[in-house]
A = this chain, B = another copy of it.
């Protein structure tokens, strides 16, 4: 049944719930629309009008739910970080053989960036603004800390099996893996332009993944 929009207040609780589901749906629609707009045009280039239009909702509603353009941008960032970390959790690297775990982490990262190009451009925008939005967020650090711990246990297991070299910083390693995947995709357009080469060709993409895996394992393995 559709949620009634009648404003009369003394209404049964059953009827209220659908109302808040409508609200949720609106907020999600705005978030999705905002994510697309911000990622394709940047923070300054994004238009509140376009976001409202893409969401099929009135512009005023964005302000009602999110306060301002900057607040909305932060909401989008928190959302996309939550999404990637959640997906990483689903890899269950802690249960896998360490070498395979590294392999999987590289290929997961590569594929996630590939399938979520908006993640890359949103981070670029936020970095342009010196992470001014994220710095105001309480939830962002706690969202990201499990990842480091996880990678640390993988490295530790690898070292105990005498496969991995000692003294590898999990943060440095994570950043390196991210670097290799991120940059290739994030700067794909300029690289293609300056090298006159189609870096998106299937063969080039496959080579890239194998190259990156070689690089990382070449470093981690003893």
Q: A: which residues have CB within 8 A of B?
A: 40-45, 81, 121, 123-128, 130-131, 134-135, 137, 140-141, 143-145, 148, 169, 171-172, 175-176, 178-180, 182-184, 186-197, 207-208, 211-212, 214-216, 218-219
Name the one of B126, B194, B216 contacting A143, with C-beta atoms under 8 angstroms.
B194
- Assembly stoichiometry (copies): 4
- Report how far A5 CA is from B3 CA in the complex, Å: 23
- Report how far A54 CA is from B62 CA in the complex, Å: 24
B187/A127 in contact, CB under 8 A: yes
In the complex, residue of chain B having the shortest beta-carbon distance to the beta carbon of A182: B183
A41: which B residues are within 8 A, CB to CB? 44, 128
Besides A81-B194, A134-B194, A172-B211, 17 more A-B contacts (Cβ < 8 Å) are A41-B128, A42-B128, A45-B45, A123-B187, A124-B128, A124-B186, A131-B193, A137-B193, A140-B193, A140-B194, A141-B194, A141-B196, A169-B207, A178-B183, A182-B183, A183-B183, A218-B219
- Report how far A214 CA is from B168 CA in the complex, Å: 11
B179/A130 in contact, CB under 8 A: no
A182/B175 in contact, CB under 8 A: no
